[in-house]
Amino acid sequence: MIRADGTHRQAIEAVLSRQPERAMFPLANLVRHGMAGGHDNATAFWIDDSVAPTAVLGLTRRGMVLPVWDEGFDVEDAAPCLDGQRICGMAGLAGPVRALMSATGLDGAVARLDRDEPQFLLSLDGLSVPDGPGDLAPIAAFREEVAEWLMAYERETGTGEPDAAMATARVDSWIAGDSHRVLVVDGRPVAMTGFNAALPGIVQVGGVYTPPAARNRGHARRAVALHLAQARQDGATRATLFAASEAATACYRPLGFRRVGTFTLILFDGEVTP
């Protein structure tokens, strides 16, 4: 593979946009943060052909590896791109991620999270919004509570190391990006939902959380559905997500989501270098 530069950006976007549900993180990073710069999600790319690429390897400034290619691609062409790089994790379809882990010799590295999750897709014209109490509200009015929920979410899912200052900064970025909502019942927030990637035509649901005292009442399902209904009004036609548990799967299927594949998320215990 060759290191891409700005002249390849249009070709990279074209490849990733063919099936955007497979490439929401690298595609959203490219659109929002570009191929260089100071943001943690600014992403460097490698491609298999300078004219008509079919395989793309992304590496964010933070160190997250994002491979996107079809089954016939030779992963040995990608592995050398990561030599000497500082890596904090990998994310993407299970096939490319597992193959790249093996090819780089990182399949033996200590990971604090190593999980395959079912991926789901929904055409928003088939969205089913459940009845129930509550309406959506922006998270700004509940900033401190949402930060506490974020830390609890990261503890439960293993996706982060809870830190109050970092959680507050994340919530502030959500407020600035207008990406998350809370479901409010009788004046109190009871569930949170959000989009961790959004592109014209498709959104990716993430950060769904219900505090323990409000669980098993359908609040998260209604929050997700109402947020997707808003996205549909804004022009989105599809939505995708990953389910981290059986409870999450049970929440999403009644909305109309169908399984389309397996997504792998690996977070190393510190940075590693192939």
In tens, the pLDDT along 188-224 reads: 999 999 999 999 999 999 999 999 999 999 999 999 9
Q: For the segment 93-138, what is each residue's pLDDT rounded down to a tens digit?
A: 999 999 999 999 999 999 999 999 999 999 999 999 999 999 999 9
Q: Which letter does DSSP use for residue 185 in this model?
A: E
Say how far apart CA 30 and CA 26 lie, in whole Å.
6
With 0.85 as the threshold, say if the pTM is over it.
Answer: yes
Confidence (pLDDT) at 211: 96
Choice between 53 and 157, residue whose per-residue pLDDT is larger: 53
Q: Which letter does DSSP use for residue 173 in this model?
A: H
Strand partners, 120: 241, 259
Instruction: Examine the pLDDT at 245 and tell me if it is beyond 90.
Output: no
DSSP string, 47-101: ES-SSS---EEEEETT-EEEEE--TTS-GGGTGGGGTT--EEEEEEEHHHHHHHH
- Max CA separation in the chain (angstroms): 57
SS3 180: strand
